[in-house]
Amino acid sequence: MSGVVPTAPEQPTGEMENQTISPTAVSDVPPDYNSHFVPGPGGPAAPTPAGLPMGYNIPQHPGAIPLYHPTGGAHPIQYQPGKYPMTNQPAPVMWMPGPTPMPSCPPGLEYLAQLDNIHVLQHFEPLELITGFETNNRYDIKNNIDQMVYIVTEDTDDYTRNAYRNLRPFVLRVTDCLGREIMTMQRPFRCTCCCFCCSCARQELEVQCPPGVTIGFVAEHWNLCRATYSIQNQKKENVMRVRGPCATYGCGSDSVFEVNSLDGASNIGSIIRKWNGFLSTMGDADHFEIRFPLDLDVTMKAMIFGTCFLIDFMYFERTPTRRSSR
């Protein structure tokens, strides 16, 4: 019939939809022409999941996997708990709540003013046990409910540690929860080749709090059968004395070092080296418990605390066994 313009054959609706290319589709080969695609209006906002605040900026904990909200979707896509494990992160450390500053108390010792019992836990170093290479000692100081009070770290060079072992001079730095160094303990080198009853061969520890301000000394006294120390003030005047057991290394039992008055009439406190079984015999993983009266002067508490470390280095610092080459 004349005057009729031929038209394209009608196609089913399904085929027309199949030919519609989604603007979000990504082809394998990038096109060789400039796209003139103009984004249309945004779709309806997704409903806010129950228990989450409005908007897309949902607060996330550090290291958490963020949520993804698709545009126009009805339900947010979330990762199932436990299906995608989190990265390995150290367990959180529970610190003792910071006390208020106290008058006439060295900064950082306010913690000791609230305690009558603390635990000194030495870190176990497997590499030291295997290789025989002496490393810097590290200690965690905790209260009775397992809250961290201080961290003690040795600061000694590699040569000194491995050349002198448990006789080495050392510096111990005590830090609080804020990383502030609140106390320093120094042990000078003493020549043990001299006569053991000579004063120049006796061990000594200086305690500074804050660092640079000496509050006292711990001095060893010669005794034929037991460990004996004097706790002194900053003028090196004897204030208390410490007496250990006849056998400092008790296999299967605790070693108790009693803190007494100068006349020995009254007991003030104690330093107890706990028996840790296998760790006590094979490696450096000592556990000390220090007891003192709650109302004891905080400076004297710090001095008893410092005495614990001199005792540890002198009697319980294990020297790794060196394998002899043949």
Note the pLDDT of residue 70: 46
Alpha-carbon distance of 198 to 276, in angstroms, equals: 35
Tokens at 201, concatenated: 């061969």
The residue-averaged pLDDT of 27-53 equals 51
Closest to 190 measured CA to CA, from 171, 164, 215, 225: 164
Supply the pLDDT for residue 264: 86
Closest CA to 320 of 110, 53, 135, 154: 135
For residues 30 and 170, the model is more confident at 170
pLDDT digits (tens, 9 = 90+) for 192-244: 655 555 656 689 999 999 999 999 999 998 887 888 999 999 999 999 999 99
- The strand pair at 148-154 and 138-142 is best described as antiparallel
pTM higher than 0.85 for the full model? no
- The whole-number pLDDT of residue 61 equals 46
> How many Å apart are CA 324 and CA 326, to the nearest integer?
6
Torsion of CA 84, 87, 93, 97, to 10 degrees: -70
Omega of the bond prior to 210 within 30 degrees of 0, cis? yes
- Of the candidates 193, 123, 118, 106, the one whose C-alpha atom is nearest the C-alpha of residue 148 is 118
What does the mean pLDDT of the chain come to? 76
What string of DSSP letters covers 11-31? --HHHHHHHPPPTT---SS--
pLDDT over 50 at 77, yes or no: no
- Among residues of the chain, what percentage have pLDDT more than 70? 62
Confidence label for 32 from pLDDT (cuts 50, 70 and 90): low
